[in-house]
Structure 1
C-alpha cells in the first residue's frame, strides 16, 4: 500500500512538472513587436494515475489567455483532451475542421493525436479561461508545440 502511494505521488509530481513545463514554454512573452501576441499560461490543478486504467494519468489545469492571446499550433500526444470555457470566449480549430467559437459554459473534446492548429482568445479586452482535462499515458508530455520557422 505504501509503495503504491509512493508511485502515485511520484507519477503525480512528474505529470505536474510536465504540465508546468508546458505552461512556462507557452507563457513566455514575445519580444519582437511584429510577432504574435503573448500566449497562454497553464496552472496545474490535479494529477493522478488512474487506478482502473493502468498506464494512464488524469490531469486537470486552468489555461488562461490574456486579451488577444493565442496558442502556438500544437499536439497533445495520445492524450484525450476535454476543454470547458470558464470565462470569456475562445476560438478553437483542429486540423481538417473549421474554427469554432466556444463561450463561457461551452466545451469541446480532442481525440488522441489531434493537431490543434488554432486556439485564440477572441476578445481584445478581456481574458479567457479554460478548464482542461487530459487523460494521457503516464509520463507523456501533455503539450508539444509545432516547430516554429
Structure 2
C-alpha cells in the first residue's frame, strides 16, 4: 500500500488554494541548459542496436478522483507517477487541466513547450498551465526510480493525459 509522506498529504489538502502561488523551486544548472546529464538510451535485448531509442515508460496510479463540489464541471484528481530507472514519458498534453507536480523521490527533468528543460529533485515542484504541451519528462537516473505526486484540476470527464500521436 502506498503511504504518502506528510508534506505531500498537506500539499494535496491545500492544492486548490496553494497552486496559484506555486512556482518552480529549482534553479537551473549548467546541465539543464546543455542537457549534459541526459541519460543514454538503453537498448532492448529484442531490438537491434540501431533501434536503441526505446526507454521504459512511466506508470500512473490514481489516488483520488472527485468532482469539486463548489466548482461546477471541474474534477480534482491526484495521482502517483512512477518512473523506473532511465524512464521517460512520451510528449503529451493534459487538455485544459491545471497541473501541479511534486517530486516524492528521485530526480525528474521536465520541459514544457516554449520553456527550457528544468531538473527537479525530491521535495521540489512545478505547475503546468491549462493547454500546456509537455515535451519531455525524464527520470535522470539510470539506476534509481523516481516518483511524482501529480494533481489535476480538470474538466469533468476529460482525460487527464493524452499522448502525442506516434510519428
How high is the TM-score relative to the length of structure 2? 0.70
Shift of the alpha carbon at 1:32? 4.1
- Structure 2 CA distance for aligned equivalents of residues 126 and 93 of structure 1: 21
Deviation at 1:124? 0.5
Aligned residue pairs total 120
Q: For residues 47 and 95 of structure 2, what CA distance do their matches in structure 1 show?
A: 30
Q: Does 1:136 align with 2:154?
A: yes
After TM superposition, give the deviation of residue 36 of structure 1 in Å.
2.2
Q: Which runs of 5+ in 1 are unaligned?
A: 1-29
Unpaired runs of at least 5, structure 2: 1-43
* Match among 68, 89, 93 for residue 50 of structure 1: 68
Instruction: Please give the root-mean-square deviation of Cα atoms over the aligned residues, in Å.
Output: 1.2
Instruction: Give the match for residue 103 of structure 2.
Output: 85
- 1:145 aligns with 163
Structure in which a larger fraction of residues adopt strand? 1
1:12-42: CA deviations, max 9, x gaps?
Answer: xxxxxxxxxxxxxxxxxx8645232111000
| 1:1-149 equivalent positions in 2, closer than 5 A | 32=47, 34-149=52-167
TM-score normalised to structure 1 length: 0.78
